Amino acid sequence: MKEQVEAALDKIRPALRADGGDVQLIEVTDDGVVKVKLMGACSSCPMSQMTLKMGIERTLKQEIPGVKEVVAV
């Protein structure tokens, strides 16, 4: 599943990079929790939680059925 998550994140990255940010995959747990690190402008942005949940998590859940949640570490 890690490869699928990385491929899905590659689709999201151009939008994040356009705003000076990025996302790094840290871990995919056996129970479907994806742990990511928001980087660049995303790490200090007040909208980062919305980006995480409404952008990254929603996209990953749509593309990969086994994803239950995305959390920032």
Residue pair 1/66 in contact by the 8 Å Cβ criterion = yes
For residue 43, is pLDDT > 90?
A: no
Q: Which residue has the higher pLDDT, 5 or 45?
A: 5
Average pLDDT on 50-72 reads: 95
Looking up residue 31, the CATH number of its domain turns out to be 3.30.300.130
The total domain count for the chain is: 1
**Three-class HEC string of 13-49:** HHHHHHCCEEEEEEEECCCCEEEEEEEEHHHHCCCHH
Give the range of the structural domain holding residue 57, as residue numbers without chain letter. 2-72
- pLDDT tens, residue by residue, 25-41: 999 999 999 999 999 99
Q: Which residues contact 22 (CB under 8 A, 6 or more apart)?
A: 13, 16, 38, 39, 40, 42
DSSP character at residue 63: H
